[in-house]
Amino acid sequence: MGVRPETWFSRTIFTYGHRNVVRAVADGLVQSGSVDGYVWEALSVVEPQLTQNTRVIGKSEWLGFPPVCARKDAAGDRAVQALRAALTGLPGSEAGRAALAALQLDGFGGAAMISSTYGDLFAGIAARMRLLGQ
């Protein structure tokens, strides 16, 4: 587009949090803000009075949810394995399902399983990072 945020907007501010972006827009402090779609949707359930004063004017393509990562050389550690087992096993227990419901997530899966089911979810992010790198 050849346009930069600093010149397109009369002013840009940081709010140090996705929820604060929604608050700033809802209160009229700023005219627009960009927010994680997952956060906006989660807020629309938990604090509908915040999101109902905002309007979504543009959506990005689907992008992957931030992954839970561990260093490659520590992937075999018992602690990492135990965390992985706990996360992927959440739907299997009552407490796990309650935790997932609170987070408004369906569940956690291994990287191989996610890629085979949904394709490369992080390709879009990688493409943007490449754009920034140019």
Partner 1 sequence: MLTALRNLPLSVRLPLLGAAMVVLVGAVASQQVLLALGRVQDARLRELAALHVEGLSVALGPLVLRRDIWEIYDTLQRAAQASQGRRVVLTAVAGEDGRVLAATDPRRVPVDSAIRQLAEEAVPLEQLSAGVSETIVRVVAPLSYQGRDVGRIVTELDVSDLQAERRRALWFLLAGNALATGVLAGLGYLGMRRMLRPVSTLARHMTGVEGKPEPIDAAEMPQGEGELARLARIYNDMVAEMAEKSQIERRLAERERLVALGRLSSSLAHEINNPLGGLLNAADTLRSYPDRPGVVRQSAELLERGLRHLRDVTRVTLEQNRLERVDMPLVAEDLEDIRLLIAPEMRRRDQRLRWSVARDALAEAHLPAAPIRQIMLNLLLNASTAAGKGGQIGFRARAEKGLLRLEFLDDGPGMSEAARVRLLSDAALPAGGGVGLRLVRDLLEELGGGVALAREDGMTRISVTLEAGRKDADA
Q: Can you tell me the distance from the alpha carbon of 16 to that of 105, in angstroms, rounded to the nearest whole number? A: 24
| Shortest separation between residue 16's beta carbon and partner 1, angstroms | 7
What sign does the dihedral 124-122-67-131 (CA atoms) show?
A: negative
Q: CB under 8 A: which stretch of 7-15, 39-47, 62-70, 94-102 binds partner 1? A: 7-15
10 Å Cβ neighbour count for 40?
Answer: 18
Q: What Rg do the C-alpha atoms of the chain give, in angstroms?
A: 19
| Shortest separation between residue 20's beta carbon and partner 1, angstroms | 6
Q: Considering the rule CB under 8 A, would residue 14 count as an interface residue with partner 1?
A: yes
Q: Considering the rule CB under 8 A, would residue 27 count as an interface residue with partner 1?
A: yes
Footprint on this chain of partner 1 (rule: CB under 8 A): 10-11, 13-16, 20, 24, 27-30
